[in-house]
Structure 1
């Protein structure tokens, strides 16, 4: 493996089981851990444009640019372009049609999650052509989705547990096919893309008729909690024609076809463990889902401050800036804003819906310490987040103080935020921004990202 496999660039997540194309590349040393976890591009595949809002949750961050055709496996990231090579040479998992298969996501920086979509190539796809939208079915064959909004008021509900497991019934296919799994987040415009190569063998003659054990439902979670009740919801099983059994502390409390249930008559300030299973028409029951622990509220009138923001981490660092991101806080009152501190001094406040901030105007080759705190609607302040230490990069010899050689326009920087119409210099040329974005990846640079920049004439 690469010498920097366990470097500081760990962030976000990937599918560990079954091994994705990127995971195999990581095992072979072709990607480091940061690159494995950051197969990241704009959400809402198979959409092709950016700036779209989520139809389920319009207050989510609009999407960034989704991956271009031919760059789906790399997610538009230049360090993984070899993942986009067409052909049948990729390592494959042997499966059968209608098989129940487990997909396990692991995270290094879990985001507020909106959904997971799973796509499969069309029956007549051509593996010798690049992966494109035309090669995949236009709709996912399986989806696990959360509908709570706005995301900043449902931090615990939308934050994925690590690992997250989906039991999915594979569609009817034969021969070599590609599965595309997409983890869409609510608090940024991006998603994480994982391509998995499958070899379908046998005839898969069950056709989902209930003769096999069904797939467990996905995304069991609490939608509302009071002093005496817990409202729960879950996604449908990938196996058609099933009913559901909901268990509290190992005892069945619901048996039916609905996708939600309210458990009443509970004790206040008490933790309860819930699991759910699917039951086929012939009475075969799936394995129970991972347990969800829910604690009912207390009738006490004591109001507590917000919890500390979690997982403060750096998205990118330049010679004069540091881009920060963190997980949301929770409390008795709605969160009003977040305060960003550098070296113990407040430097900015952002709205509750904004879980990121770019600190600019820093000194090159200098170490800075940051933490973040939350403020609720009653001005109650949380304890600080973890302390993040960041060291800025050295100025390049041709940086010229951040401007190009003629001093007219600032130099493009990875991690910088740019608005449509803004002009920057890069590699001796001037470039005009086509659409507003934050340049998380190096291959979003002018001259590489033709959908983001055009050369000024």
Structure 2
């Protein structure tokens, strides 16, 4: 698990906050986490919920949540490789800030998922840094939220796919001294979220001159026709502001609402939109990152859909490979996806299905996969990335000559395990020590001593 400990840049898995440096990012810089581990502070979504299987109240068709991190294991996101991140105390590297300061948070992605929301929590004014981080240490509600309401997620791939990087300009709450900020990126297409803890030292009283408002987050198109674009955005974290919406640098809206429909546009034309916040005294924030939206064409498009994005494996056994990919986009509706193995079509799945499990494979064999999209006009996209993956070895008989697979399930890459779970792997039974998701082959029983011990 240390082969990439000294990588000079994070590996291509999921995402993290680098600005301001999170606790995990500092640990990666110091060589305490490898590149993959930095990006995998991953556990069940809906913090501060404590149970799994919950449905998103905003988007019921999203994947239900997996098990959120336990109290005392929030900074590590319940991942055994980062348990040291959960240590109580005031020794952590901190960023010096002031109350009400506008602070920029930058999420960097290496495998972007369809995004439902970002939540930012802060510790209570009377929290105790010498106790483990728990739900009781944090305010129960986020002080800032950036949320997307479009559903189902598979029909809004471009809208829900985060830009890389994603920047939130957030006004910090009133605090003094040492506090912990918890940023949670919740995804729509899995049950997980990504947890980043940032240590802050609040100095001064933060009551100086008037602060320029924070830029509103989440500007995006919610609906597009041949002559109109409907836009929506999240409220600025600065209170008492209005908003100015610009199309191609010309202001088209000035008001307090959080949505606007831009009418009278030309079909099949690209338009660039930005938004700013304005204080009661007229101080205007910088404008957001531009969002480019193309109106629809009145005739069926002859342009093929985009390639499915980020084909990756969600689990491997001796006889199966579970695949997942990001939605394609196109002027015409997506009709289905074609899954290929070794260049041959093996399955067609509905446009709403962004995953497929290929079964009946040979153990210890390498297979190559790619996926393509087909739209309503039967136009075929270019292929996704090619994924090469090797199935696991068959579990051998145990010392008594019995097949363990009849007693316990086989360990699988990508599987979710709770402390006390028992699996079979390479002819032995193993007991899970720490709840985790098996993101890498080196987390297998017999290799990851902090995650598994042999059953006796």
When normalised by structure 2's length, the TM-score is 0.87
Which residue of structure 2 lines up, in the alignment, with residue 296 of structure 1? 295
1:64 positional shift:
0.6
Check conservation: 2:23, 2:93, Cα contact below 8 A. Answer: yes
2:278 aligned with 1:279, yes or no? yes
Which residue of structure 1 lines up, in the alignment, with residue 31 of structure 2? 29
Which residue of structure 2 lines up, in the alignment, with residue 169 of structure 1? 171
1:430 positional shift:
8.0
Structure 2 CA distance for partners of 1:456 and 1:89, relative to 1, 3 Å: closer
Structure 2 CA distance for partners of 1:444 and 1:184, relative to 1, 3 Å: farther
Offset from partner CA, 1:232-291 (integer Å, 9 cap, x none): 110000000000111111111111111111111222221111111000011101111011
Check conservation: 2:229, 2:263, Cα contact below 8 A. Answer: yes
Q: Distance in 2 between matches of 1:341 and 1:424?
A: 31
Aligned residues: 441
Check conservation: 2:316, 2:412, Cα contact below 8 A. Answer: no
1:444 positional shift:
9.6
2:252 aligned with 1:250, yes or no? no
Report SS of the residue matched to 2:180. strand
Q: Distance in 2 between matches of 1:196 and 1:287?
A: 25
1:108-257 to 2 correspondence within 5 Å? Answer: 108-205=110-207, 211-257=210-256
Which residue of structure 1 lines up, in the alignment, with residue 449 of structure 2? none
1:329 positional shift:
1.3
Check conservation: 2:11, 2:110, Cα contact below 8 A. Answer: no
Report SS of the residue matched to 1:400. coil
Q: Distance in 2 between matches of 1:405 and 1:251?
A: 76
Structure 2 CA distance for partners of 1:113 and 1:171, relative to 1, 3 Å: same
Offset from partner CA, 1:154-185 (integer Å, 9 cap, x none): 11111100000000000000000000000000
Q: Distance in 2 between matches of 1:92 and 1:321?
A: 45
What are structure 1's unaligned runs of at least 5 residues?
Answer: 448-452
Check conservation: 1:62, 1:189, Cα contact below 8 A. Answer: yes
Q: Distance in 1 between matches of 2:444 and 2:85?
A: 20
Give 1:56's match in structure 2, choosing from 52, 55, 58.
58
Check conservation: 1:78, 1:443, Cα contact below 8 A. Answer: no
1:405 positional shift:
5.7
CA RMSD in angstroms comes to 3.4
1:6 positional shift:
6.4
1:306 positional shift:
3.4
Check conservation: 2:10, 2:38, Cα contact below 8 A. Answer: no
More displaced stretch, 265-274 vs 403-412: 403-412
1:413 positional shift:
2.4
Give 2:21's match in structure 1, choosing from 3, 19, 22.
19
Q: Distance in 1 between matches of 2:120 and 2:376?
A: 39
1:204 positional shift:
1.6
Check conservation: 2:93, 2:199, Cα contact below 8 A. Answer: yes
2:327 aligned with 1:328, yes or no? yes
Check conservation: 2:52, 2:68, Cα contact below 8 A. Answer: yes
Give 1:83's match in structure 2, choosing from 70, 82, 85.
85
Offset from partner CA, 1:114-136 (integer Å, 9 cap, x none): 00000000111111111110110
Which residue of structure 1 lines up, in the alignment, with residue 414 of structure 2? 415
1:318 positional shift:
5.3
Structure 2 CA distance for partners of 1:266 and 1:402, relative to 1, 3 Å: farther
Check conservation: 2:398, 2:428, Cα contact below 8 A. Answer: no
Check conservation: 1:248, 1:272, Cα contact below 8 A. Answer: yes
Which residue of structure 1 lines up, in the alignment, with residue 268 of structure 2? 269
1:71 positional shift:
0.8
Offset from partner CA, 1:289-322 (integer Å, 9 cap, x none): 0111111122223465433211212345555543
Check conservation: 1:318, 1:415, Cα contact below 8 A. Answer: no
Structure 2 CA distance for partners of 1:368 and 1:456, relative to 1, 3 Å: closer
Report SS of the residue matched to 1:67. coil
Q: Distance in 2 between matches of 1:191 and 1:101?
A: 22
Check conservation: 2:300, 2:332, Cα contact below 8 A. Answer: no
Q: Distance in 1 between matches of 2:416 and 2:340?
A: 20
Q: Distance in 1 between matches of 2:440 and 2:312?
A: 16
Which residue of structure 2 lines up, in the alignment, with residue 400 of structure 1? 396
When normalised by structure 1's length, the TM-score is 0.87
Q: Distance in 2 between matches of 1:403 and 1:279?
A: 73
Which residue of structure 1 lines up, in the alignment, with residue 307 of structure 2? 308
Structure 2 CA distance for partners of 1:335 and 1:88, relative to 1, 3 Å: same
Q: Distance in 1 between matches of 2:11 and 2:295?
A: 38
Q: Distance in 1 between matches of 2:328 and 2:455?
A: 43
